[in-house]
Amino acid sequence: MSIKDIRLFGDPVLTTPAIEVVTFDRELRQLVADLTDTMVDAPGAGLAAPQLGVGLRVFTWHVDGELGHLVNPVLQLSEDCQDGPEGCLSFPGLKQDVRRAARAVATGFDMYGEPVTVEGTEILARCLQHETDHLDGILFVDRMDPATRKLAMKAVREAEWAGGTVPTVRLSPHATFGRGM
């Protein structure tokens, strides 16, 4: 097992866009193993490489008993939306409602460079969007409506794990379908 420390809100790596993977080698396979072990141990529904301090476009997920990973993901999102509670391993203990597309199709590669397509609804759709946002330097607080974000940031300031400078909340570069921000 290779369980790593998860970077917490306030760490600049979490708001820095990750770069595309160009080499599908043993190091990448080790990163996928580290992400998987750390995510399962946490436990979480997903974990992106920046959350381990690695600025590469890779994430893992564990939803409905299915483990998977995706390298260099590209999302296609439905126009219909879902609202629901969402958490993040980089925000221990924080859960807030976030609006997401109800269906997501993610294309990318596995750790060997083979093409992969993952289709998800409900929790898997939410997870695919959440983890891809991490790769773009976007955090789930960036997706919250202003009132919810205010409550979330108050909870962050009061959390035992919080410390240091709180980064500026950024607007997501992804379509919000006229909702949210």
Task: Give the pLDDT of residue 176.
Answer: 55
Mean pLDDT across the chain: 90
Residues sharing a CB contact under 8 Å with residue 88, sequence separation 6 or more, in sequence order: 94, 130, 139, 140
Average pLDDT of the residues in 80-108: 95
- pLDDT tens, residue by residue, 13-26: 999 999 999 999 99
Question: How far is residue 63's CA from residue 39's CA, in Å, rounded to a whole number?
Answer: 11
- pLDDT tens, residue by residue, 36-84: 999 999 999 999 999 999 999 999 999 999 999 999 999 999 999 999 9
pLDDT band at 114 (very low <50, low <70, confident <90, very high): very high
Other C-beta atoms closer than 10 Å to the C-beta of 38 total 22
Angle in degrees, CA 87, 93, 99, rounded to 5? 25
Task: Find the length of the chain.
Answer: 181
Q: Is the pLDDT of residue 88 over 70?
A: yes
Which residues carry out catalysis?
A: 131
Domain layout of the chain by residue ranges: 12-158
According to DSSP, residue 104 is labeled: E
According to DSSP, residue 167 is labeled: P
Q: Is the pLDDT of residue 171 over 60?
A: no
What is the dotted CATH code of the domain comprising 12-158?
Answer: 3.90.45.10
Task: Give the pLDDT of residue 5.
Answer: 94
Other C-beta atoms closer than 10 Å to the C-beta of 19 total 11
The residue assigned the tokens 């939306």 is 81
Q: Which has more pLDDT, 173 or 62? A: 62
Nearest C-alpha neighbor of 16 from the set 56, 66, 45 = 56
pTM comes to 0.87
